[in-house]
Amino acid sequence: MTARLSDIADQAGVSEATVSRAVNSKPGVSPATCQAVVRMTVLAQRMRAQRLSHRAGSLDELLDSVFALQAQDVPALRLAARARGVESLDGDAIRTWAMRGTLHLLHRDDLWVIGLLGPVFVAAGKRRRTQLGLTDDLCARAVPALREVLTEPLERPELVARLTEVGIALDPKSQAPAHLLAFAAHSGVLCRGLDDTYRLLGDLPEPGTVERLWRRYRRAYGPATVADFVTWSGLPKRMVRDLPDVADEPADPDGTVRMLGHFDSYLLGYRDRSLALDPRHAPLIQTGGGFLTPHVVVDGRVVAVWKRTGDGFEVRPFADRPDLAAESAELARFLGVGADLTWR
């Protein structure tokens, strides 16, 4: 207990006695100090839940904890796994469209989520499919056609050509192929490999429930709110009702430093990111279109942005320079690049 209090006290700039009073809801502590102590405790819990301060030993172990990793960009996916202790994506994992209708890497055992979320995104995408000429009849005919032509992993141009041969004609220069394949993925027909080829998904388990997804979410991102869950999952609010309370694993700030890449799941798990990311610096991270700039977190707080340079990394801290010696050396080894640090 003493080590925990001293860590929090040091970061908050107050005494251990003050931290103890704040943690135990005792009088005599200013609201600002209470807020700071709560923030550090919650961020420590989130870092542990995301396996950033308590790293995993394998991809299967990691996905069991965090449920899924954002995966529309494979190099960024590899950075996310590396930050959580996993340097190989070998395992029983599937890359497919899931939360928010975007690509994620999930364990095969968790594909029940497709049956839960898929119909939501199929319905949400109907208007755009209609605009592209993807009628309900065409989409219905495309499902067995895809099962017929996907006899091997295929890149999109080859897959579109094969669909044309069996009577599903698509303009390869339009958005129609992407939307049809997303429809098929949400319908549980296909997935996408780490090499960006499309392949059949195979049999799926029975759809899970909203409560089951909520519990997995809280295990991966807690402490968090129902509003955070709605934002992360993409579920409509009408489906998210009467969810049970879920206890969060305790954790203490331990000084963990991580250099996170594009689209890292850590910030994407919350509607309100202000606990981890000062709104003054948010435009440097959230640059539009769901894009997240690579950033540095220390005990869960975003303290800098970074990018690759010829001989290492360029870092722009928001205040004091974080100690990146060990983390940048590890990241450089993983990427096979130099570890020189340039500060802006």
Tokens of 7: 């860590």
More confident residue, 30 or 171: 171
Domain boundaries, the chain: 2-49, 59-200, 257-343
Calculate the average pLDDT of the chain: 92
Angle at 111 between CA 175 and CA 146, to 5 degrees: 40
Query: Which residues does 328 contact at the CB level (< 8 Å), separation at least 6?
Result: 259, 312, 313, 339, 341
Residue 6, pLDDT > 70, answer no
Residue 32, pLDDT > 80, answer no
Helix axis angle for 210-221 and 226-233, nearest 10°, is 100
Q: What is the mean pLDDT of residues 109-135?
A: 97
276-322 confidence digits (pLDDT tens): 999 999 999 998 777 899 999 999 999 999 999 988 999 999 999 99
Residue 3, pLDDT > 90, answer no
Q: What is the mean pLDDT of residues 248-261?
A: 94
Q: By the 8 A CB rule, do 62 and 51 touch?
A: yes
The whole-number pLDDT of residue 339 equals: 94
More confident residue, 122 or 252: 122
What global pTM score does this model have?
0.89
Fold of the 2-49 domain: 434 Repressor (Amino-terminal Domain) (1.10.260)
| Portion of the chain with pLDDT greater than 90, in percent | 85
Q: What's the pLDDT band for 24 if we cut at 50, 70, 90?
A: very low
Taking the alpha carbons of 175, 178, 180, 182 in that order, is the dihedral positive or negative?
negative
Cβ-based burial of 189 (10 A; exposed 0-12, middle 13-18, buried ≥19): buried
The whole-number pLDDT of residue 39 equals: 85
Q: By the 8 A CB rule, do 190 and 199 touch?
A: yes
